[in-house]
A = this chain, B = another copy of it.
Amino acid sequence: MNREPARKSLWTWGTTENEPTDEQRRHAAAAVSAMVGSEVVAVAAPTPESIELPASRVTVPEHLHDICATDTYTRAAHSIGGHPMELLRGFRGDFTNPPDVVARPRTEEDLERVLEWCADQGHATIPYGGGTSVVYGVSPPDSESIVTIVMGGLSQVLDIDETSRAARIQAGVSGPDLEHQLRSSGHTMRFFPQSFPWSTLGGWIATRAAGHYATGPTHIDDFVESTRMLTPEGWMESRRLPGSGAGPSPDRLVLGSEGTLGLITEAWVRIQKRPVFRAKASAEFPTMETAAEAVRQIVQTKLWPSNLRLLDPVESQKSAGGDGSHALLILAFESADFSQHANLLEVTEMVERLGGSITSGSMRVIDESDAVGDDGSAAGAWRKSFTGVNAGLIHGLGFITDTFETAITWDNWPAFDAHVRAEVGRALESTLTASWLSCRFAFVYPDGPAPYYTFGGLGTTGGEQAQWRIIKDAANRAVIEAGGTITHHHGVGRLHREGWEAQSPALFRAGLTAVKDRLDPTGILNPGVFF
């Protein structure tokens, strides 16, 4: 094999460079000890040499040697996604069902060769973008032979149409690389999911990821002009159009298909000029209830702020340095063309009228760097924590933390939240000590919020998987019972399949199965997801 894939970490997000040091982990252990009132100890992080895997069951044919790897590290690294419990498994060296082969095509022709081989041999075939799935979307199921296809070799921005503000981009490109390639022409896609540093355009499309904007265009769906996908039955490419009403949308079948119908290789997506004018503010509300009502009224005015995120008092304390007595609203407008002064003024007046207090605000013309930054405000602190998640810090401490997210209409929101908090709270209490449950609105629509819950607490070292499962099951059940969606933007994967089945129409699933049978007749693609 000529080209080694980037060295992916076995137990934290990103590459080995993102792994915390032993010292950082000892500090984290001390902090957790202080928090829970009993001593927890950081055990040593695993070394690459310590990994043990079953031997690969697949012989790579000669003509694929140049793009296939079977070494232990690569196979182990691609056997898990980015869920905290998967990373904890990686930390413990528990790699169930690793792929037998990890292929990394450099061209569409490479991809055709690999997929043809997989179809011929009936290998379970796992499409893999950045490996950041938190819903067990890339961890292979129990199969007789498994090939993971890493799309990172297809990573070029192929065409920039400045007139229409769109670009043709290969699906394996990571967020930073995509933005880097757009930057020289003054453009940005401005799509920043939490997984941005590692996740890929193809992964965003396959999982219906949601990005930078809190209102308006939230999901990647709204950025896509056309898609190109290789299925076991051949290529499927849609016509590039700014809008169409010609029958059900082909792209909307690709969006959310999670690697079960084909491997996305390219898309035309909408891009934009880099923002120049930005106006932002933070506000405190005495309760989550008053804040939620203010957010509802603000989003229903359809001014489409780029940020309108609401943190409950617990979240505000944990992530933005609040004192735990207030809900925090983070508000921003941006534009490449016009000052956003008037919009911010309209909304901050609404905030004050609806019981909030503006705690910081700024209006400025920004320079070409609009990277996620820290300006010392509560909003800045939250943004930093947003991108600074590092599950590896707490591995082995017995600590459990996870998130779940959904969407619900405003009329149902109060009862929904009460039900979720009661059910998940009960599960937390029965399994963990020093547990907590917090919530923020990650995205907001005129007809309802997309709440994002985070929970955590101290379980038993070695018992984390079982304890976590009790809480996760309670969360899945509560979300579905109370009328929400099993996922707003994390995807279905293998973790949310039951919830997806509960919420989606049976005949729609039957129709989707018919599509699957047509495009992937031997069912090799990402088995266990949807089908």
Contact = CB atoms under 8 A, between A and B. Distances in A.
Interface in A211-266: 218-219, 225, 231, 233-250, 252-258, 261
Q: Copy number in this complex?
A: 2
A521 to B, nearest CB: 11
A246 B258 CA distance: 10
A452 interface: no
A219 B222 CA distance: 13
A511 interface: yes
A255 B252 CA distance: 11
Contacts of A510: 233, 518-519
Contact of A242 (B409, B487, B490): B409
Nearest to A207: B245
Interface in A385-434: 407-411
Nearest to A261: B511
A308 interface: no
A337 B518 contact: no
A295 to B, nearest CB: 13
A494 to B, nearest CB: 13
Question: Which residue among A238, A410, A513 has the maximum number of chain B CB atoms within 10 Å of its CB?
Answer: A410
A489 to B, nearest CB: 4
A219 B245 contact: yes
Contacts of A234: 507
A383 interface: no
Contacts of A92: none
Task: Say which size band chain A's interface belongs to.
Answer: 35 or more
A247 to B, nearest CB: 5
Given A210-B245, A300-B165, A445-B242, A253 B408 contact: no
Contacts of A249: 252, 255-256
Interface of chain A, helix or strand or loop or mixed?
A: loop
Nearest to A513: B518
A313 interface: no
A514 B231 CA distance: 16
A69 B127 CA distance: 55
B505 A511 contact: no
A477 to B, nearest CB: 15
Given A247-B500, A250-B508, A241 B409 contact: yes
Interface stretch (A31-39, A79-87, A359-367, A478-486): A478-486
A246 B165 contact: no
A166 B409 contact: yes
A450 interface: yes
B242 A504 contact: no
A161 interface: yes
A281 to B, nearest CB: 17
A504 B163 contact: no
Given A164-B447, A239-B485, A270-B446, 11 more contacts: A208-B247, A235-B505, A242-B408, A243-B443, A243-B488, A246-B500, A248-B256, A249-B256, A272-B446, A511-B515, A515-B515
13 contacts: A218-B243, A233-B510, A237-B505, A241-B485, A245-B256, A245-B488, A246-B486, A246-B504, A247-B257, A248-B256, A261-B511, A301-B335, A514-B518
